[in-house]
Amino acid sequence: MTRRRSLWIDHDERRHVDQGPFSSARWRRQAQEAEERRRPRSDPAPAEEVEPPRRRFRWLPAAGLGVALAALALALVALLGGDGEDTALLPAGGDRQLPSTPAGRVYQAAGPAVVSVQAGPAGGTGFVVRRDGTIVTNAHVVSGAETAQVRFNDTGRLVEADVLGTDPSSDLAVLRVDPGTVGSIRALPLADSDKVRVGDAVVAIGHPFGLDRTATAGIVSGVGREIRAPDGFQIEEAIQTDAPINPGNSGGPLLDARGRVVGVNAQIATAGNPGNVGIGFAVPANTLREVLPRLSRGERIVRPYLGVTTAQHPSGASIAEVIRGGPARAAGLRAGDVIVEIDGRAVDEPEDVSDAVSDRRPGDEVEVDVIRDGERQTITVELDKRPQRTP
């Protein structure tokens, strides 16, 4: 007889009552666990807080920014100091000074020799040329005065200077102070102005508008210019510069890169404007060198006079006007004559006429070769003294 298997395992005598997947003990345990889950639970004790691991990645952006700034600083140093010279940054306190510029070095060397000159209502600049107290300025600054007031350095102390001589035809004047009244004196050397070339660097030092020892820099813009002297005659071989020159600069030095005087600042072209337009003129140093000894001795500069005005001509210098009452008219020269030679010296331009005559003295006779009506002829002229002003 076959026994049927029961669904209840505990009915099987071969198994324990608590064994098997469907035992009564298992069901009781499951019911108890379900009951416990339905009961409300009290809050458990807080678990010990565990410190989370430090997240190092939060510091990465700040570190990267620092590296980037350091790299930028190194790049700027390399850019600004790429020539291999010392690129150390200057301290904030300014203990280390920047190298002086060429114009600054000229100013430091020549500045102490530049003075302010006051003669009556007129005022200008001057500069020392000899350690015995000899000072040069423009003739129009002292304007015929016998004495002038001179101020050295930037102090307000005025020293009286004697006006030894003036030459209106070159617009130059020589003064002298007692060196014992000013202490140490520095004199400026004169350069050979014939060697000045366009493009040379120059520095002008003066007292424009009463501003003590102002320095301006520029270049030589032109040479061989002609400017009008106070007496109406022409000053030849003037030096043109774009270094700003203003009222009050008159009589001051125009200096080369070595601190030597190449000219005496005298005039500016204004084109109707009250200020500087970048065109100034200086009397050449060689003209100063020529008249300085005689003016220092108080001598009057007497110049020869031919009495003609000339213009450029393909064959030489054409006579534009023969001055009434002058020696040229008395000798028979005419307007339209072309001067080709004076005392054996060829004339190629109007300046050659002045050069040939300036080497003579009043009363000297010169032979002037001209072309008139296509024929060459020689006329002898006795030179006279230049009048105090142009006729």
- Residue 170 is encoded by which pair of tokens? 């070159």
Is 171 designated active site?
yes
Is 140 designated active site?
yes
- The residue annotated as part of the active site, out of 116, 167, 170, 171, is 171
Report H helices in 81-182. Answer: 102-110, 139-142
Contact partners, residue 131, CB within 8 Å, separation at least 6: 179, 185, 186, 187
Query: Are the CB atoms for 173 and 166 separated by under 8 Å?
Result: yes
- The residue annotated as part of the active site, out of 140, 193, 200, 207, is 140
- Residue 352 is encoded by which pair of tokens? 């050659």
- The residue annotated as part of the active site, out of 143, 169, 221, 250, is 250
Bridge partners, residue 372, by sequence: 375
Query: Are the CB atoms for 327 and 205 separated by under 8 Å?
Result: no
- DSSP code string of 266-306: EEE--TT-SS--S-EEEEEHHHHHHHHHHHHTT-----EE-
Q: What are phi and psi of 162, to 5 degrees?
A: -85, 135
Output the CA torsion sign for 5, 7, 13, 15.
Answer: positive
Q: Is 138 exposed, middle or buried (0-12, 13-18, 19+ CB in 10 A)?
A: buried
Query: Are the CB atoms for 278 and 258 separated by under 8 Å?
Result: no
Query: Are the CB atoms for 148 and 117 separated by under 8 Å?
Result: yes
Residues labelled catalytic? 140, 171, 250
